[in-house]
Every structure is written in structure tokens, then in C-alpha cells.
Structure 1
Amino acid sequence: MKTGLVFVFVLVGAVSGFRGNFRDYYRQKCSKESWDDIWRSTGTVPNKLNQVPDEPLYMATATGTKIFPNQTLDTEQLLKRPYFKWNADPDALYTLLIEDNDIVLRPIKYAHWLVTNIPGSNVYGGDEVLEYIPSFYLNILENGELETRVTITNRHLVLVYKQPGRINVSTI
């Protein structure tokens, strides 16, 4: 069984709502060439990942707004868990991680959500290891004070890994 990273998505945005087939809309909005360009022009490849993912991770806000790479969402659009779909093997288990690339508390990475043992692409059927935390901005200045600017954009990576089998993650 092949394991490892199967899909990745940079979350820095959204588009207006669309009713219809998610995959067809992605194909219309994001050709393979533009898809590859987004990953490279944002520096996600090669700074965060070695290569552009082969397939997209389809995402939508809780209200149904489709989410695309390198676009901007308001925090209020992310107060509830987003929805996900990918070309999953229905007999496989997956892990989903939403990582915040702009909250840097070295050596720790900040995660907004972690779900393991996801059957196929049914995220809500998996084991929630870390409860969903809506996007927010946090920066500690060199003097140790909290930065209070509110017009900041946070970049997120949403990663989906295919697991070799059921895993047990202990919570702290």
C-alpha cells in the first residue's frame, strides 16, 4: 500500500459560492498550468513541499463557498469546520492536518485541526485528535509583546496523508 502525502492545498482564500460539480468547477478555474504556477509563485514549492501535488483537495466553507489555492477568506468564513473531498480510496484511511504557516513559535508548528483514521474522504468519520480551531493571527514581537495589527493574512497548508493502516495518536 502506498503511503505518504497525497494532496496538499494552500489556504489563503476563497471565491464566491458555486452550485454544481466541485471537480468541474476546479477544472474551469484552475488548469494544470495555473495550478502548478500557484504552488511555485507562492514559494510553497520548493520552500514547504518538494513538488506540486498531482491532484487537488476540494474544499468549501461551512456555508458552501468553494475554496481555491492562493485566495483570501475572512476569518468569519472559517469559524466552522470546512468541508473536504479528494479522490480517496474508499478502503483506505487518511490523516488531515491544517497547518498555519504564519504562526511561528519555533520549534513548534501551529495546527488548526488534526483528524486521523479518516475512512475514504469522510473527514467526520475519522478520529479528531485536535479539535478545529478557526484561523487567527498571532505574532510575538521581539520585545515579547503580542502584535495587535488586525489586517494580516495567514497562510495555511492543508495536508492529507494516506495511512498504512489504523493509527493511534495519544492526546496530551
Structure 2
Amino acid sequence: MYRLFIVIFVHIVSGHNGYDHEVAKYFSEHQVVPNVISVPPKQGLKVTYGENEVKFGNELTPTQVKDIPSVEWNADPTLFYTLIMTDPDAPSRQNPEFGEWIHWIVVNIPGKDISKGDTIAEYVGSGPPPHTDLHRYVFLVYAQEHKHDFEEPILTNKSGNGRAKGSVKKFAEKHGLGYPLFGNFYQAKYDDYVPILYKQLGE
């Protein structure tokens, strides 16, 4: 009986506090913490590009991630959420002069229905310059206290203006979002789709 009590107690403490230690491990190993955020997300975020799934640092190609992904999380249907995708490694991880480069921001998402949220920055896929090795592309979801006007400029996917030198931390602080609840990330390096993306952005 005593052993059974110990097992049950440990399970409650480690498995039912809503905190996934595997997520924290991956975010620390790839230095997303502290490069992008100071506290890791509590849980993982399911992100898929067709048949390609984002798996905490796996490598995908710019061609594979050129279109908007499917993103799902364990949402409370009574809450609103903010979704952000960012690249801290612009133009390279060794020289992140323009990082973070903001790829996507959707706010006021009811539950997990992204289509009903308000898009601040339209989705732009990965465009790492040639010879800059792997970039990290980080997805984060924050809970909002309520639906509100973020009063941010709208960024289209036809231009790269306004996306460089962003900061998820500062954005979250400005809008009172606290720490991210859900997250995931992949890595990518240059392929033949990148020049097409640059042309789309007028670069």
C-alpha cells in the first residue's frame, strides 16, 4: 500500500500539473530559451504542413513550409489566443542582426479557430539566405485575458517591411500576454524556393 501511494503521488506531481518537461527540454537544447523566450511553453503545439509535421527542431525545407500550416492546441473554447511564428536567426544564427524576423501573427483567436482570429502579420514561409545554415522557426501560442484591439500595423505577405528586428518578448509584454502556453519549432536552410519568396516580398 505504501509503495502504491508513492507511485500515485509522483504521478500526480509530475504528470498532472499541465507542464510537459519534454517540451522544456527541446526548447532549452535548441536555445529557443533564452534566445526567443525566457520561459518554455507548458505544452506542445501540433503544427503540420500537409504530411510534414513540426517536431521540436526537425529539419523541413522552405518548399515544404511555403503555405500556411495547420496549427492545433488544447484550447479552452471560452478564451482568446495569440499565435506567433518567428525566426531569431536572421540573417544567420551566428549573426542575428535582423532577428527576430516575424513570420506570422494572429490575435483574438476564439478557442483554436485561427480562421476567426485577426491577422496582424500575414503568413510568410521560411526564406533563409544561402550559406547561412539552419534557422529556427518558432511557433508560440499565448492566452489573452480578453479580446481587444492590438493597435498594430497590418503586415502583408507581399512585403518584408516591418518584420525585421521584432521581439516576441516585447510584443507579449506590451499586450499583457504573459508567458506562452503552447509551442513548437522546426529548422530550415536555403533551397530553390527562397528566391521565389524573395520576389514575392519585393526583395
Equivalent residue pairs, number: 129
Structure ranking higher on relative contact order (CA contacts 8 Å, 6+ apart): 1
Q: 1:72 aligns with which of 42, 59, 69?
A: 59
Q: Quote the Cα distance in structure 2 between the aligned partners of 1:90 and 1:33.
A: 25
Conserved? CA contact 1:97–1:159, under 8 Å = yes
* Counterpart pick for 2:83 among 77, 96, 101: 96
Separation in 2, partners of 1:114, 1:34: 25
- SS where residue 59 of structure 1 aligns? strand
Structure 2 gaps, min length 5? 1-19, 91-95, 155-203
Choose which of 129, 142, 145 in structure 2 pairs with 1:164: 145
1:127 match: 118
Describe the superposition over 1:85-112 as per-residue Cα deviations: whole angstroms up to 9, x where unpaired.
1111101111111011111445x63110
Shift of 1:124: 1.5
Q: 1:109 aligns with which of 100, 117, 120?
A: 100
SS in 2 for 1:78: coil
Structure with greater helix share of residues: 2
The higher radius of gyration belongs to 2
Task: Please give the alpha-carbon distance, in whole angstroms, between the structure 2 residues aligned to 1:126 and 1:57.
Answer: 17
Deviation per CA, 1:18-47: give whole Å up to 9, x if none.
xxxxxxxxxxxxxx5543332222122344
User: Which of structure 1's runs of 4+ aligned residues deviate more than 3 A?
Assistant: 32-36
Aligned-residue RMSD, C-alpha: 2.1
More strand by share: 1
Code of the residue aligned with 1:171 in structure 2: it is: P
Q: Percent identity?
A: 29
